[in-house]
Amino acid sequence: MQIDEFSEDHLDVLKELMNIAMGNATASIADLLQAFGTMHIPHLAISDMDGLKAYMEKTIPSDEKYYVTKQLFGGMFGGEFIFVMTDESAVNLGHYLYDVTAPSDADIMDAVIELTNILSSTILSRLSEELNTKVQFFVPSTELMSGNELIGHDETLNYHRIIIISTLMEFQSHKISGHIFILTKDKMIESLSRLIDQKLEELYA
Amino acid sequence: MINTMDYCNIVFDSLENGTMIVDENCTVWAWNKWLEINTAITSEHIIGKNLEDFYPEIDYKGFKRKIRTTLRLNSPTFYDASLSNRFITVPRNKITTSLLTTMQLQVTISPYIPEVKRVMVSIQDISDLHELKLTLQQRMKEIASLNSELRQDKQIIDANLMIVKTDCGCMILEVTDAFSSFFGYNEAELRGAFLSSIYVTDTMETELLQMKETLQKKQKWSGEVQVVTKEGETVWMDAVISPYLDEQDDITSYTAIYHDITDKKRIELLSVTDPLTKLYNRQKFNDVFDVMLMRRHWKEGNSFGLILMDVDHFKKVNDTYGHQKGDAVLIAVSDILAQTVRTGDVLARWGGEEFVVLLPDVDSEKAAYVAEKLRRAVEGTSISEVGAVTASFGVTVYAEGDTQESMMHRSDGALYRAKEKGRNRIESLLV
């Protein structure tokens, strides 16, 4: 199957599945962290690297510092999960989870990783479950970086055709928010397309 | 006979990482061999007990939350491994470096038996990786600091030193701010222009030729050059031009560094110039004369000549028209002499109304011819209020063994003879 065959219909199905997965994530966060958040309607697009860069630049202002957690996930639907929080949000999260007035760098990093864990696990596990496949999570890493460092040159070489799934997550009462990006590429798009086709067959069988 | 459980234990103990099974209250249910060896706590000692009893420093609120998340999501959770350890402390025995005295751990909490709320905590030693990261960070810091110093140095150089970089064809590639502002151009105007366009070529022919030859030999050239600014001002520069060679020893580019020496040149010029006539003074003439004598290649037919010239009846001019007019006569005579001598001849004021000319590459005939040309030029010049003046000339040429004194003596003798014979004439006196 050609990548170009990932159609608008496929995108619509993926968007629906994302809505379900995000609902799951919101519920899990409320349960595990006692924080009640909202997630915005996800944006889905098929793009190339330039498109991804332009989208990132539009979404994440380049002149600010962010805590960026990147986690790879594997399986029939594999790719990269990125969670981007402003410095201020990350400090608030550290303060909230570790119950200290001035959280240390380690507290903040760990809190960001913890929230990313929950988000990636819930969203991707649910997506995989809906697509009747399994997902493997790899060790995430968090770094403090500016917006323009989000995509490096080496990544330009790796990603030629990308599906961007993005949403904004907010805990307004705790002044915590973050952008979620789920990126998948080339071969993975092909297998994702197949999984969605199977899902559609299953639904209309 | 080994049963399935024993096989599991063998696998568990064979793992090259620390693995423990704990429940949501942090009670330890399994502790593998890696942990026994690296923590010095035996499984018999810790199993059934609470981890808090052995490691009270761990943040158990966060740990328990992670266990709960793992069990609730049935998915692994992770500790951040980029900063200091937040889990158990495992000593590290590396002696050759001291960056990390305890292991940097990658801690993953995976669901084990969710029904009984147990998780598996696996501990991976990532110290070497972390050490590399720390070293890299340190190096990056050093590089950043060096870059900052370099930037500062570059700013200082850019603002204060006139430097030009050209390609191998001397086309300008880069200039410093100091260079462009001194010459009155902006950088864009200079980029792509040829470096030779800033030189005053008509008076610098020999120097530029030497420069070209030296650079073609892939050597550094240094010397004084006259350059012209955008406004047309002529300036003296001390220049150092260095070629850059590639691995094949071919010239890839040139870097030229300039230093304005106009003031120095002005002072230098003043020290060798007669203030009234602007010709070389006697001191400078003597220096040039010495250099001329030091050249050993003079021979008959290709020697050098000396003319001593005296303005006729100059005392009378002074007495009749005053000293100011007398000075005007000297200036006018100097000008006509300067216009008439050949390129390469050295003209100077000897003192009073006497002038001297050194004539390279002449024989006696040619020297006399030049003197006659000068005589006619003086004679043919009309000076305001004074009218025409004349001059007498004594000529000689170099002969082997000559000194300044001997040549001056002969030309003086010849001049005396010219005066004796009625003035406004030339006389030669040879060895």
- Interval B128-172: pLDDT, tens: 888 888 889 899 999 999 999 999 999 999 999 999 999 988 899
Determine the Cα–Cα distance for residues B328 and B386; give it in Å rounded to an integer: 10
Residues of B carrying an active site annotation:
353
The answer to whether residue A169 scores a pLDDT higher than 70 is yes
Please report where in the chains the tokens 């000293």 appear, as a residue: B323
The answer to whether residue A107 scores a pLDDT higher than 90 is no
Residue B280, both tokens: 């070389």
* Superfamily (CATH) of domain B273-428: Reverse transcriptase/Diguanylate cyclase domain (3.30.70.270)
- Tell me how close the Cα of A109 comes to any Cα of chain B, in angstroms: 6
Contact call for B73 and A137, based on CB within 8 A? no
For every residue of B164-188, DSSP letters joined together read EEEETT-BEEEE-HHHHHHHT--HH
Query: Band of the pLDDT at B414, cuts 50, 70, 90?
Result: very high
Q: Which chain A positions have a beta carbon within 8 Å of B108's beta carbon? A: 139
Vertex B213, ends B210 and B214: CA angle to 5°? 85
pLDDT in tens, A170-193: 887 788 889 999 998 888 888 888
Residue B115, both tokens: 């029904």
Q: Is B61's Cβ below 8 Å from some Cβ in A?
A: yes
Q: Is B270's Cβ below 8 Å from some Cβ in A?
A: no
Q: What is the pLDDT of residue A3?
A: 46
- Considering the domain delimited by B161-266, tell me its CATH architecture: 2-Layer Sandwich (3.30)
| Span B58-80, average pLDDT | 90
Q: Is B69's Cβ below 8 Å from some Cβ in A?
A: yes
Q: What is the mean pLDDT of chain B?
A: 91
| Span B211-238, average pLDDT | 91
For every residue of B200-259, DSSP letters joined together read -TTT-HHHHHHHHHHHHTT--EEEEEEEE-TT--EEEEEEEEEEEE-TTS-EEEEEEEEE
Distances (CA, A) of B91 to A201, B30, B40: 56, 21, 10
| Span B396-409, average pLDDT | 92
- Tell me how close the Cα of B12 comes to any Cα of chain A, in angstroms: 21
Determine the Cα–Cα distance for residues B90 and B37; give it in Å rounded to an integer: 10
3-class secondary-structure state, position B111: strand
- Whether B87 contacts B58, CB under 8 Å: yes
Q: What is the pLDDT of residue B86?
A: 77
Q: Is B113's Cβ below 8 Å from some Cβ in A?
A: no
- Considering the domain delimited by A3-204, tell me its CATH architecture: 3-Layer(aba) Sandwich (3.40)
Domain layout of chain B by residue ranges: 4-125, 161-266, 273-428
Q: What is the pLDDT of residue B300?
A: 62
The answer to whether residue B278 scores a pLDDT higher than 60 is yes
DSSP β-ladder status, B391-397 and B426-428:
parallel
* Highest-pLDDT range among A123-137, B122-136, B405-419: B405-419
Please check whether the two domains, B4-125 and B161-266, share a CATH topology: yes
Q: What is the pLDDT of residue B157?
A: 92
Partnered with residue B140 across adjacent β-strands are none
Q: Is B65's Cβ below 8 Å from some Cβ in A?
A: yes
Please report where in the chains the tokens 């005589």 appear, as a residue: B375
- Tell me how close the Cα of B168 comes to any Cα of chain A, in angstroms: 33
Vertex B198, ends B196 and B199: CA angle to 5°? 70
- The residue among A110, A118, A142, A149 with the most chain B CBs within 10 A of its CB, best to mutate, is A110
Of A169 and B350, which is predicted with more confidence?
B350
Pick from A28, A105, A143: CB nearest B72: A28
pLDDT in tens, A76-85: 888 999 999 9
**pLDDT > 90 in chain B, percent:** 67
The answer to whether residue B301 scores a pLDDT higher than 70 is no
Chain A residue closest in CA terms to B65: A32
Q: Which fold has domain B4-125?
A: Beta-Lactamase (3.30.450)
Whether this model's ipTM surpasses 0.90 comes out as no
Contact call for A139 and B72, based on CB within 8 A? no
Burial of B413 (0-12, 13-18, 19+ CB in 10 A): middle
Residues 79-108 of B with CB under 8 A from A: 79-84, 86, 106, 108
Q: Is B393's Cβ below 8 Å from some Cβ in A?
A: no
- Tell me how close the Cα of A156 comes to any Cα of chain B, in angstroms: 23
